[in-house]
Amino acid sequence: MSEQFNLEIVSPENSFLKKDDVTEVVIPAFEGEMGILKDHISVISFLKPGIIKISSNNEENNFYVDDGIVEFKDNTLSILTSNIFDIKNSEASKIQDMIKEAEKELSDEKLDDQKRFIISQKVEVLKSLSLN
Amino acid sequence: MASLDDLKKRISSVKSTQKITKAMKMVAAAKLRRAQESAERGRPYSEKMNNIILNLSSGLSDKENAPKLLTGTGEDKVHLCVVMTADRGLCGGFNSNIIKKAKSYFKKLSDNGKTLKIITVGSKGYDQLKRVYKDSIIENISFKESKNANYFEANKVGKIIIEKFENKEFDVCTIFYNQFKNVITQIPQEQQIIPLKMTEDEINKSDESYEFEPDEDEILGNLLPKNISTQIFKAMLENSASEQGSRMSAMDNATRNAGEMVDKLTIEYNRSRQAAITKELIEIISGAESL
């Protein structure tokens, strides 16, 4: 019991997920993956495209996110994101579409390095998803 | 006095108008529920976003070099006003209330010698403003095709605003929308989003210490553009709920007025029918007497 904390994922349109029995969350923070356990220090960070791994008592869930902001405070982890979906329920065609779109963005010459880096990361993650 | 036939025609035309307004009211009521729900569902996101920004900006060590989106350009010359209205009419005072609010603000600006730039979201606002402020309107955005407000569209508007800000086209940005209080009351709002305005209470409230990764500046730089889109989205949600609420009460009134009119016309119809019969009787009787 003592190892659990609260998790809340909200998107602009609705409250995506709410859990109170989470034991560990791994988030793709901007400067590398970050694992969060109970009693983590208060932290604010933002996300790059990647996979959120949520371990609760008896199950493990994986979600893909495009971007987002993470706040951890008083044993509550809040993730604000505009594009998120469950990997288990995702459709291959949708992922393919997203890859295509991202690749199109990459071909834009005017892109600055940081954006290029983020988008190429996105393509990598999405491609690894579509392989499974 | 109108003939019986005319009265009959008028009664049936008012009745069919009543049918239309009644149907519109029902539709608005159904849509209102949906709009209200999505406005409520969207609330946690914008609240959280606000909180994080508050915490961030109060913890900001170097206020001089803070992102311009937070502190502004340091000047106060060119004002950008984003006027958000509906794409459809027949919703009572909904659109004109926003326009009225916006116009009084425009007047204040021009009295103080500021330059005015306008972006209209929603075609009704554009229609009403283009007569007087045609030269000030720099962009007219309308989402006529989509049924519900969604984040993707809000993001588009947000991006336009940020792009203009980065090109130094304006110093202060204000948005106008209707806040939904209940079905009868919607309050037109003006909200300044660039530079971000915070009340004293909010600033004093946040004294948490956080760890930031990467540093505050970078997070703020990433967060503030998102916050603009979020605020726009919030305004859109409030607006769509207000629009439906306003339309519902307007149509309710119209239905009631039509009902009253039908009653009045029916009485008049019956009276004149009776008068015609009486007249005929008198004619017959007086004809018989003269024999």
Is residue B71's pLDDT more than 90? Answer: no
* Domain of residue A100, residue span: 92-131
Is residue B271's pLDDT more than 60? Answer: yes
In this complex, which of A13, A34, A46 lies closest to B219 when CB atoms are compared?
A: A46
Query: Which of B:25-44 have CB within 8 Å of A?
Result: 38, 41-42, 44
Query: Where is pLDDT greater, at A39 or B200?
Result: A39
A119/A62 same-domain check: no
A79/A19 same-domain check: yes
CB B204: neighbour CB atoms within 10 A?
A: 9
| Chain A / chain B CB contacts < 8 angstroms | 74
Is residue A131's pLDDT more than 90? Answer: no
pLDDT value, residue B206: 53
A127/A76 same-domain check: no
Residues 6+ apart with CB under 8 A from B50: B227
Question: Inter-chain contact B52–A80, Cβ cutoff 8 Å?
Answer: yes
In DSSP notation, A58-106 reads S-EEEEEES-EEEEEETTEEEEE-SSEEESTT--HHHHHHHHHHHHHHH
pLDDT tens sequence across A55-107: 888 788 888 888 888 888 888 898 988 888 888 777 778 888 888 888 888 88
- Report the gap between the CA of B152 and the closest CA in chain A (Å): 9
pLDDT value, residue B98: 92
State the pairing for strand pair B137-141/B115-121: parallel
Catalytic machinery residues of B: 91
Sort out which chain B residues have CB atoms less than 8 A from A44's CB and list them. Answer: 52, 55-56, 210-213, 219
Which SS3 state, helix, strand or coil, does residue B235 take?
Answer: helix
What is the torsion angle, in degrees rounded to the nearest 10, for the CA atoms of residue A105, residue A110, residue A116 and residue A118?
-70
Report ipTM (2 d.p.). 0.76
pTM of structure: 0.83
Structure tokens at B167: 């090109």
What residue of A is the nearest CA neighbor of B211?
Answer: A43
A75/A101 same-domain check: no
- Mean pLDDT is lowest, of A45-54, A58-67, B58-67, B209-218, for B58-67
- Report the gap between the CA of A97 and the closest CA in chain B (Å): 17
Containing A39, the helix (H) or strand (E) segment is: none
A81/A96 same-domain check: no
Split into its structural domains, chain A has a count of 2
Residue in this structure with the two tokens 């209330």, named with its chain if needed: B97
A116/A81 same-domain check: no
pLDDT value, residue A105: 80
pLDDT tens sequence across B174-223: 999 998 888 888 899 888 888 877 655 555 555 567 777 777 777 777 78
Sort out which chain B residues have CB atoms less than 8 A from A46's CB and list them. Answer: 219, 222-223
Binned at pLDDT 50, 70 and 90, residue B288 comes out as very high
Question: Inter-chain contact B48–A73, Cβ cutoff 8 Å?
Answer: no
**Amino acid identity, residue B95?**
N
Query: Which of B:243-282 have CB within 8 Å of A?
Result: none
Sort out which chain A residues have CB atoms less than 8 A from B222's CB and list them. Answer: 46, 69
pLDDT value, residue B102: 92
pLDDT value, residue A132: 60
pLDDT tens sequence across B117-172: 999 988 888 888 988 888 888 888 888 777 777 888 888 888 888 888 888 888 88
The domain at B24-250 falls in which architecture? 3-Layer(aba) Sandwich (3.40)
pLDDT tens sequence across B2-57: 788 999 999 999 999 999 999 999 999 999 998 888 888 888 888 888 888 877 77
- Report the gap between the CA of B34 and the closest CA in chain A (Å): 12
Give me chain A's average pLDDT, please: 83
In this complex, which of B46, B151, B219 lies closest to A82 when CB atoms are compared?
A: B151
Q: Say if CB B154 and CB B229 are below 8 A apart.
A: yes
User: For the domain that residue A69 is a member of, what is the CATH number?
Assistant: 2.60.15.10
pLDDT value, residue B14: 95
A98/A76 same-domain check: no
pLDDT value, residue B29: 93
CA distance A99 to A124: 9
pLDDT tens sequence across B99-124: 999 999 999 998 988 889 999 988 88
Q: Which of A13-17, A56-60, B273-277 has the highest mean pLDDT?
A: B273-277
What residue of B is the nearest CA neighbor of A115?
Answer: B222
Measured CA distances, B176 to A105, B83, B121, B199, B228 (Å): 33, 5, 10, 19, 14
Sort out which chain A residues have CB atoms less than 8 A from B226's CB and list them. Answer: 69, 82
Vertex B21 angle, CA B17 and B27, to 5°: 145
pLDDT value, residue B184: 84
A12/A76 same-domain check: yes
pLDDT value, residue A69: 87
Structure tokens at B154: 């809000």
A71/A117 same-domain check: no
